[in-house]
Amino acid sequence: MVPRPARVAHNGTWHADGECAAPTPANSTAALPDTLDLEPLGTVTRVASDRGLVTVRAITEGTLEELDRSFSVALENAGYTIVRSENEIIEADIYFADPQGRIGGVKFFTTDCAGQVVVRLLIDAQS
């Protein structure tokens, strides 16, 4: 385990003893589109579905640049078109669409847990 920094974590994963923790997988990922490979996102920790929109939270290790690149490839391999992509110092965003016009977005941002990146994905899963 990595020692926790003195400041409070921003969406990192922590043990009660103050150490950065390995993420806990979500109980179910059944709401996710089966065409999209989420392996580049790391450990999916939360999946929720509401009115045809699916939100996903994941924790992974790596850099924003690596994740931006690998998930862009995963999106394109699943038939999505990258509409816009931004990569800043502390966060990165990818906006995408499929041939049917369904849209989605993914945001990667660093945490206070060294090497951990939080991923938030929102995707239109209506058929």
Residue 2 resides in a domain:
no
Average model confidence (pLDDT) across the chain: 81
- Residue span of the structural domain in which 85 resides: 39-124
In which band, very low, low, confident or very high, does the pLDDT at 17 lie, cut at 50, 70 and 90?
Answer: low
Residue 1 resides in a domain:
no
pLDDT in tens, 73-118: 989 988 999 999 998 888 999 999 988 888 999 999 988 888 888 9
Residue 27 resides in a domain:
no
Residue 34 resides in a domain:
no
Contact 47, 32 (CB under 8 A): yes
pTM, two decimals, is: 0.76
Residue 4 resides in a domain:
no
Measure CA of the first residue to CA of the last residue in the chain; give whole Å: 42
Output the domain CATH number for residue 83.
3.40.1000.10
Number of domain units in the chain: 1
CA angle 43, 23, 67 (to 5 degrees): 45
The two tokens of residue 37 are: 């490979």
**pLDDT more than 90, % of the chain:** 28
Residue 111 resides in a domain:
yes
Task: Specify the long-range contacts of residues 102-111, CB closer than 8 Å, at least 24 apart.
Answer: 102/126, 104/80, 106/41, 106/71, 108/64, 108/67, 108/68, 108/71, 109/10, 109/11, 109/64, 110/64, 111/9, 111/10, 111/11, 111/12, 111/13
pLDDT in tens, 28-43: 877 877 777 777 678 9
User: Could you tell me which residues come within 8 angstroms of residue 127 by beta carbon, excluding any fewer than 6 positions away?
Assistant: none
Residue 104 resides in a domain:
yes
Residue 26 resides in a domain:
no
